[in-house]
Structure formats: structure tokens, C-alpha cells
Structure 1
């Protein structure tokens, strides 16, 4: 499974909010922001806090897709 936060970055640009402002307004850690910058998984709580601040739904800020192994029932994703 892969995750991509390009929707979040576009939404921040559209709303004229910097990543630093989002960290301060939402109370998420800079580590969580760094993980998202690398398209790594973060806790659901982080995504919910961001959505609360931006008044959006989770699917407005994240894209995910399953890789071939996961679709076949394998456990190839990272936690």
C-alpha cells in the first residue's frame, strides 16, 4: 500500500496556509509533517486534526493505492 499527500499540499496552497502554520494550528508534530513530506504513513489522529483545521474530509488530503502483493493478500505494506 502506498500513500500520497499531494492533495494536502495543493489544498494548503489554495488556502494560503504554510506547513508551519498547519503544525501550529492543528497541534500535530513536526515529525508527522516530515513523514507526510516523504509520503509515509501517519496516525489517523493526525489526519483528523488536519481535516478539522482545513474543514475537509480525509479523502480531500490523501490518496492511497494498494500494490500488487497486497491485492493478492500478501502483507507487503509497512506499518
Structure 2
């Protein structure tokens, strides 16, 4: 199983936010956003910053999925 951040991208769309808005709101680096975009590992501190900025729970931005279901 791997982690998918599709929920994060959907949440940003629903809130009419861009990736650059997420960077500004949360204080995470552009390289962290790139990692998230490729479903790569990021530090839990990054995920916590995103949750605080978006006022959401971890389950609202990511989920575990089988390896064969991720694009």
C-alpha cells in the first residue's frame, strides 16, 4: 500500500485554492508540494502544517491505497 494525496488536490479545488496558496498558507516548501504531487514521502510535520492551514484532519488530505490504483 502507498499513500495518495488526491484528497488534498480535490480539497484545494473545492476551496478554489492553488498550490501557491497552499505554500503561502502553510509555510511548506515548493519541493514538498512537488513530492506530494508525485505521492512521495513527506515529513509528518509537513502534513500537520497543511492540516492546520486548511483546518482539516489528516484523513481529509490523504489515504492509503493499493499500489495498483494510483496514477
- When normalised by structure 1's length, the TM-score is 0.79
Higher helix share: 2
Mapped to 2, the partners of 1:60 and 1:20 lie a distance apart of 19
- The 4+ residue runs of structure 1 with deviation greater than 6 A are none
Mapped to 1, the partners of 2:54 and 2:19 lie a distance apart of 12
- When normalised by structure 2's length, the TM-score is 0.87
CA RMSD of aligned residues (A): 1.3
Task: Give 5+ residue unaligned stretches, structure 1.
Answer: 68-79
Larger Rg: 1
Q: Number of matched residues?
A: 67
